[in-house]
Amino acid sequence: MAPAPSIEDLLRRMAPEVLGAVVRRYGHFDLAEDAVQEALLTASRQWSPGAIPESPRGWLITVASRRLIDLLRADASRREREHAAAQWALVEQPVAPAELHVTGSDDTLILLFMCAHPALSLSSQIALTLRAVGGLTTAEIARAFLVPEATISRRITRAKQTVTASHVPFRVPPADERQERLKAVQHALYLIFNEGYVATSGQNLHRVELTAEAIRLTRLLHRLIQQDVEVAGLLALMLLTDARRAARAAPDGALIPMARQDRGLWDERLITEGVALVTEAMRRGPVGPYQLQAAIAALHDESRDLEGTDWPQIHALYEVLLELDENPVVRLNHAVALAMVDGPRAGLEALSELEADPRIAGDHRLHAVRGHLLEMAGEKAEARESYLTAAKQATSLAQQRYLNGQAALLVS
Amino acid sequence: MKYMILTHASQQDYDAMAGKPGDRSVWSADDFAAMVAFMRAFNSELAESGELVETRGLGAPAHARRIQPGEGAHVVTDGPYAESQEVLAGYWIVECESFDRATEIAARLSSCPGPAAVRARASADVRPIEEHVPDRET
C-alpha cells in the first residue's frame, strides 16, 4: 500500500488549483503566483499531520487572496508615489455565472496552457510549469537544474510578466489554437523528464527528482484530457523509460547499455501500466510520435533478453516514426534496428547517409553506434577507432569512460 | 563574501580520467567510483551548510574554442591548448564568512581519492570574488 500523502504532497497537488482560483477571481497572474507561493510556504510551516485545516484548499485560497491584496496595495501605493494622479482601486473582477461551475481541474489545465505560452522560451516554460503547476519553490527548481537560484528567480519573474503582458484571458485556448498549445505543454513535460533522466552524476542529494515530477504532471494532464491519445502516449513513454532506471547505471555512475542491463531490475509495475496505456491509445488512434516511441520502449521492456527482442516490429515502428518526425536521432535508432533485422552491413549503410547530416555528424552517438555496428561486423580495428572518436566527442565523463572502455576491449 | 575555488587539469589528465586506453595513468573503475563518491559527499555537505552557490566541472580542453580579434573578422581556434597544458577544470563558488573558511573548504579537496600520480600534482586555488552590486530595490 502506498504511504499516506505527506503535507508537502498535499500542498503541491493543490498549488495549481489554488493559483487558478485566485487568478480567476482577481487576475494579476504574476502577483497572484507570488501570493500563492507565500501561502504554500506558510502552510508548510504551520500545518502538521494532526493539524490540517478542514478545507485545506479554502484555507490556502483565503491566505493567498489576502496576501495578493497586500501585494496589490503595495503596488498601488508605489504607483501613487510614482504618479501622483494614479487612480487605482481594488475591485474584484465580476465572475461570469458559467464560471461559477469551474473546478480546480479546469484551472490546472488552463495553467498548464498558460505556462506553455508561445511568447516564452522553452527554459522559461519549464521553470514556470514546475513552479505554477508543480508547486516547486524557486530554490528547488534551481537545485534540480544545477543553476543559481537567482537565475531561476529572474527567469520566472520575466516569464510571469510576459504572460501577464500578453493579456491572455484565463481560459482554455480556443479550439483552433488548442492542439498547437497542447503540443507545447507536452514538449515542456517531455523535456523536464529528459533532463532528469539524462542527469547521471546526481551530485546533489537535494536534487528534486525531475523524472518523478514530470510523470506526476503528465499523469495530471492525462487525467484532465483522457481523450488525447498523444498525452497517453507521452505518459506511457515516460513510464516505460523510467522502468529501466535502476538497471541503467553501475554503482560508480557508469552507464550500462540496454544490452547488458540486468532486466530483473526493471520495474514490472511501471511496464504493465505503460504497456496498457500505449496499447489502448494506439487502438483508439490516430497514432503520433509519442505513442510510437512508447510502443518501441514497450517492445524492449517486454522482452526477457536482447535476442528475444522483436526487432522487426521495432524496425517497422521506426519507419512509421520517420514519416511523422524526420529527425537524425530517430534515423540513428532506425539504423540500429535495421542492423538487428538485416545485419550490421545494412545498418552501416544507413549510417553512411547520416554522416553527411550536419545536425548529427559531430555527435558522439553517431560514432558510438558506428563502433557498435562495426564490432558486430567483426571489424575490430575500425570499431575501436569509432569508439575512440565517440569518446573524444562525448562531453560527460560517464559516457567517455563507457566508450573508452569499449575501445579498450577491442585491443587485438 | 563569495569565493571561487578552482581546480586545474590538462588534456592528458582528462584522458586518464575518461579511461582512454593506452594512457599510463588511467583511472580504474574503483578509482573513479571513489572520486565520484567523495565529490558527491563534498558537494552535498556544502549545499547542506548553505555555503554552496554553484559548482561545475568543465568539459575537456580539447572541446575548447578560442576567439580572437583578427583582420576584419574575429578568428576562432578549436582546441587551443597543448596536451600537457593545465587549464581550468572545475570550480565551486562558495559563500562563507571568511577567506580562512573558504581555504578550509578548498583544503578538503586535497583528500579527494585518485591515482597517486594525479594526487601528487593536484592543487586548488581560492580567489575572492569582487562584488560590486549596484544599489537597487529589493
Show the cell assigned to A351: 549510417
Chain A: nearest CA to B55, how far in angstroms? 8
Q: Which pLDDT does position A189 carry in this prediction?
A: 94
Q: Which pLDDT does position A33 carry in this prediction?
A: 93
Nearest to A228 by CA among A275, A179, A189, A267: A179
Higher pLDDT, A271 or A12: A271
Higher pLDDT, A204 or A68: A68
Instruction: Write the CB contacts of A209 (distance below 8 Å, at least 6 apart in sequence).
Output: A196
Rounded CA-CA distance A222/A216 in Å is: 10
Q: What is the DSSP letter of B78?
A: E
CB contact under 8 A, A201 and B36: yes
The predicted-structure confidence for A110-124, as pLDDT tens digits, reads as follows 899 999 988 899 889
* Residues forming a β-bridge with A118: none
Q: Which amino acid is present at A309?
A: T
Show residues of chain B in contact with A154, CB under 8 Å. Answer: none
* Residues forming a β-bridge with B76: B67
Measured over the CA atoms of residue A198, residue A201, residue A206 and residue A212, the dihedral's sign is: positive
Higher pLDDT, A229 or B130: A229
Cβ atoms of A183 and A190 within 8 Å: the answer is no
Q: Which pLDDT does position A252 carry in this prediction?
A: 66
Least confident of A76-80, A150-154, A214-218, B108-112: A76-80
Q: Which pLDDT does position B133 carry in this prediction?
A: 63
pLDDT tier for residue A4 given thresholds of 50, 70 and 90:
low
DSSP for A253-283, please give it: S-B--GGGS-GGGS-HHHHHHHHHHHHHHHH
CA dist B16 to A28, A153, B21, B36, B115, Å? Answer: 55, 39, 8, 15, 10
Least confident of A99-108, A343-352, B87-96: A99-108
Cβ atoms of A16 and A46 within 8 Å: the answer is no
Show the cell assigned to A395: 562531453
Cβ atoms of A213 and A196 within 8 Å: the answer is yes
Least confident of A275-284, A296-305, A397-406, B61-70: A397-406
Give mean pLDDT, residues B120-137: 80
Rounded CA-CA distance B92/A2 in Å is: 39
Q: What is the DSSP letter of A135?
A: -
Secondary structure tally for chain B: helices H, strands E: 4, 6
pLDDT tier for residue A92 given thresholds of 50, 70 and 90:
very low
Q: Which pLDDT does position A305 carry in this prediction?
A: 86
Rounded CA-CA distance A74/A34 in Å is: 13
Q: Which pLDDT does position A148 carry in this prediction?
A: 79
Cβ atoms of A201 and A262 within 8 Å: the answer is no
Higher pLDDT, A199 or A343: A343
Residue with cell 533532463: A195
Instruction: Give per-residue burial for A267-297: e unless 16+ CB within 10 Å, then b.
Output: beebbebbbebbbebbeeeebbbbbbbbbbb
The answer to whether residue B28 neighbours chain A at the CB level (below 8 Å) is no
Other CB atoms within 10 Å distance of the CB of residue B80 = 14
pLDDT tier for residue A391 given thresholds of 50, 70 and 90:
very high
Q: What's the order of all strands across the beta sheet hosting B124-128?
A: B52-57, B87-95, B2-9, B124-128
Q: Which pLDDT does position A253 carry in this prediction?
A: 67
Residue B19 has pLDDT above 90, yes or no: no
Give mean pLDDT, residues A178-199: 86
CB contact under 8 A, A405 and B43: no
Report strand pairing: B87-95 vs B52-57.
antiparallel
Show the cell assigned to A221: 494532464
Residue with cell 537535494: A206
Q: Which amino acid is present at A399?
A: Q
Show residues of chain B in contact with A371, CB under 8 Å. Answer: none
Residue A268 has pLDDT above 70, yes or no: yes
Q: Spell out the SS3 assignment of B34-52.
A: HHHHHHHHHHHHHHHCCCE
Least confident of A51-55, A82-86, A209-213: A82-86
Rounded CA-CA distance A308/A303 in Å is: 6
Show residues of chain B in contact with A254, CB under 8 Å. Answer: 29, 32
Q: What is the DSSP letter of B110?
A: G
Rounded CA-CA distance A361/A355 in Å is: 5
Higher pLDDT, A105 or A269: A269
The predicted-structure confidence for B28-48, as pLDDT tens digits, reads as follows 888 888 898 899 899 889 988
Show the cell assigned to A31: 502577483
Chain A: nearest CA to B104, how far in angstroms? 21
Determine the residue of chain A that is closest to B32 in CA distance: A252
Show the cell assigned to B121: 600534482
Q: Which pLDDT does position A1 carry in this prediction?
A: 46
pLDDT tier for residue A306 given thresholds of 50, 70 and 90:
confident
CB pairs under 8 A between A and B: 61
Give mean pLDDT, residues A225-249: 93
Determine the residue of chain A that is closest to B40 in CA distance: A203
Q: Which pLDDT does position A93 carry in this prediction?
A: 46
State residue A85 phi and psi, 5-degree precision. Answer: -90, 5
Instruction: Write the CB contacts of A403 (distance below 8 Å, at least 6 apart in sequence).
Output: A364, A368, A371, A387, A388, A390, A391, A394
The predicted-structure confidence for B2-17, as pLDDT tens digits, reads as follows 999 999 999 999 999 8
Give mean pLDDT, residues A223-247: 94
pLDDT tier for residue A272 given thresholds of 50, 70 and 90:
very high
Q: Which amino acid is present at A136?
A: L
Instruction: Give per-residue burial for A353-375: e unless 16+ CB within 10 Å, then b.
Output: ebeeeeebeebbbbbbbbbbbbb
Show the cell assigned to A218: 503528465
Instruction: Write the CB contacts of A135 (distance below 8 Å, at least 6 apart in sequence).
Output: A11, A12, A13, A14, A15, A16, A40
State residue B52 phi and psi, 5-degree precision. Answer: -80, 125
The predicted-structure confidence for A7-48, as pLDDT tens digits, reads as follows 888 898 899 999 999 998 888 898 999 999 999 999 999 998
Give mean pLDDT, residues A303-313: 90
Higher pLDDT, A202 or A247: A247
What CATH architecture applies to the domain A326-412? Alpha Horseshoe (1.25)
pTM across the whole model? 0.80
Interface test with B, best of A386, A404, A410 (most B CBs within 10 A): A404
ipTM: 0.75
pLDDT tier for residue B135 given thresholds of 50, 70 and 90:
low
Give mean pLDDT, residues B67-92: 91
Cβ atoms of A174 and A182 within 8 Å: the answer is no
B79: left (phi > 0), else alpha (psi -120 to 50), else beta?
left
Where are chain A's structural domains?
227-309, 326-412
Chain B: nearest CA to A358, how far in angstroms? 18
